[in-house]
Structure 1
Amino acid sequence: MGTVASAHVLTARAVPGAALSARIADAQAAALDELQELDALFSPFRPDSQISLLRDGAPAPGALDPRILEVSAACERLASASAGRFDARRQGWFDPTGYVKGWAVERAARRHLAPLLAEDGVVAAGLSAGGDMQLFTAPGADWTWTVGIADPLHRGELRAQVAVRTSGTAERGAHIIDPRSGLPVADAPTATVIAERLSDADAWATVAVVAGFDDLTWLRGAPDTSGMLISPDGRVRRWAHGVEIADAVRWGL
């Protein structure tokens, strides 16, 4: 995935008991190990991955890992829902890099970290990789994640913060190809999308960048998302649950 991943678990006590500490350490290690496994399966930059072998004409479709078929089906649905702004087959072969990192983080987090919420003393848990985050809060816990949105114009500074309880965020910026033209997106905005499932947030963030700052018509296909776009010149657009939020300053309020 070419990025750094981290697994976080918040407990009610600063130093949990030995048994819970061991359970947490095992879950964190398992989540990070699964990300490594999925990277080895899906990376188009590794010649021995199944994605690369598929691109080069092997293996046969019947020999594919079922997780590749799962991701392929999801990418087909997103291509249709986004009116072609997202397309994992734009180059004539299957490259799910615009979807699979978020999907992998969500999958590993749900399998290994989410079960920790049933442990007495665990308040919250989350998995992050390269700006993609799947976050969980234990039922009844008085905890809210505060996620910072980086300012693309001022390195190291935040443009906004958002309170998240059980959702994920994804950031996308440069190096995204418009599948309709095959060219890099010019004047690409920075997109942050929040959704119930990180895999959806990751893909819709890509769609938002491809559509551009001035086009939010794609929201009709993603009514359950919220987020923010920042243009290269610093302008901001926000939406919640598929509806754009007007800026009070813009209207002189």
Structure 2
Amino acid sequence: MRGAPESTRVWVEKIMGIPMSIHLISAGDQDAVATEGAIRACFDELHDVDGIFSTYRPDSDINRIRRGELSLADADPRVAFASAACERAAHATGGLFSGYREGWFDPTGWVKGWAVEEASRRHLAPLLTSAVAVGINAGGDLQLFTADGSDRRWHVGIADPHDRGRVLATLDIANGAVATSGTAERGHHILDPRTGAPATGVASATVVSDGLAQADVWATAAVVAGALDHSWIEASASRTGIVVDHEGAVTRWLGSTMIDVCAVSGTREV
């Protein structure tokens, strides 16, 4: 693959209320039928998950459970699976993450990352037998794959939540996931499960992990924890990440090691 000119194809659909785009990078001929089939299968699986877990569609399993029309035992088996996964995430984060919102079962904070990771591993990763790289962008959250033996890297820019035209950092990733959560774009929509009040201290939190389910949970947990609480970082088993507070201070870490805290006026090593 090295030396051949690369070409990029992009497919986009709106799923779960957000644009999801699949990016395929190749350096030669692709089996068009197999490629289109894999892309369609990935999108179809995500549409199917949305039909089960959407809080906006009245016929979803989640809303039918809320109305008392469907029991957890009689719902799609993936609902019970999500419930168990959310319980594990709540335990792992020390209560910083929850599958409930305002008293209702609402696993959407876990479902998107899990669904995108699972669908892309199942349908997109096999395309690497002939492609250089393939990845999916789900409203800014990424699951990325690169072929074995390729020196290509995905260059991922982390935007400044206080100035969307400015890039705070660039990450080079071969295989892995990037999730960002925060209040800069959607306001204080994340609730602290421990108090029920909106989480207000973090403008954005970006977490890099092997898979998007893990990255998404811990990005949410980082927002709830606030800018001064770093105790969760070791438990997250993340590769790296960045938290930006509402004053513009930036906290970075690598593995479980803090790199620095960059305040508006300068940098302090920790």
Q: CA RMSD in A?
A: 1.7
Equivalent runs, 1:163-178 vs 2, <5 Å: 163-174=172-183, 175-178=189-192
Matched residue, 1:180: 194
> Is it true that 1:104 corresponds to 2:121 in the alignment?
no
Q: Could you list the per-position Cα deviations for residues 39-68 of structure 1 after superposition, in whole angstroms to 9, with x for gaps in the alignment?
A: 111111111110111122231222121111
Separation (CA, whole Å) in 1 of partners of 2:237 and 2:258: 11
Q: Please state whether the residue corresponding to 2:97 is helix, strand or coil.
A: coil
Q: Residue 123 of structure 1: which of 109, 123, 132 is its match?
A: 132
> What is the rounded CA distance, in whole Å, between the counterparts of 2:239 and 2:62 in structure 1?
29
Which of 42, 46, 66 is matched with 2:53 structurally? 42
| Residues 1:241 and 2:255 are matched in the alignment | yes
More strand by share: 2
Q: Where does 1:213-224 land on structure 2 (aligned, <5 Å)?
A: 213-224=227-238
Matched letter for residue 228 of structure 1: I
Match 1:148 to one of 154, 157, 166: 157
> What is the alpha-carbon distance in structure 1 between the residues aligned to residue 228 and residue 268 of structure 2?
18
8 A Cα contact 2:204 2:244, kept in partner = yes
Q: Which residue of the partner structure matches residue 69 of structure 1?
A: 80
State the partner residue of 2:97.
86
SS in 2 for 1:8: strand
Unaligned runs of 5+ in 1: none
What is the CA deviation profile of residues 165-208 of structure 1, one whole-angstrom value per residue up to 9, with x for unaligned ones?
Answer: 11010111122111111111123330000111110000100000
Alignment of 1:3-14 (within 5 A): 3-13=18-28
Q: 1 CA distance for matches of 2:23 and 2:154? A: 11
Comparing both chains, which one has the higher relative contact order based on Cα–Cα distances under 8 Å and sequence gaps of 6 or more?
Answer: 1
Matches of 2:202 and 2:243 in 1, distance apart?
10
Deviation at 1:133, TM superposition (A): 0.9
After superposition, the C-alpha distances for 1:20-45 in whole angstroms (9 at most, x for unaligned) are: 12222221122112211111111111
Identify the residue that residue 4 of structure 2 maps to in structure 1: none
Asked if structure 1 preserves the Cα contact closer than 8 Å seen for 2:202 and 2:244, the reply is: no
What displacement does 1:222 show?
1.2
Shift in Å at residue 246 of structure 1? 2.5
How high is the TM-score relative to the length of structure 1?
Answer: 0.92
Give, in angstroms, the shift of residue 10 of structure 1. 0.8
CA distance in 1, matches of 2:203, 2:257: 19
| Deviation, structure 1 residue 112 | 0.7
| Stretches of 4+ aligned residues off by more than 2 angstroms | 89-93, 246-252
Following the alignment from structure 2 to structure 1, what is the Cα–Cα distance between the partners of residues 91 and 257?
21
Query: What are the equivalent positions in structure 2 for 1:178-217 lying under 5 Å apart?
Result: 178-217=192-231
Instruction: In structure 2, list runs of 5 or more residues that go unmatched.
Output: 1-15, 184-188
CA contact (8 A) 1:8 1:28 kept: no
Mean alpha-carbon deviation: is it higher for 216-225 or for 45-54? 216-225
Equivalent-residue separation in structure 2 for 1:251 and 1:133 (angstroms): 30
Q: What is the percent sequence identity of the aligned residues?
A: 46
SS in 2 for 1:61: coil
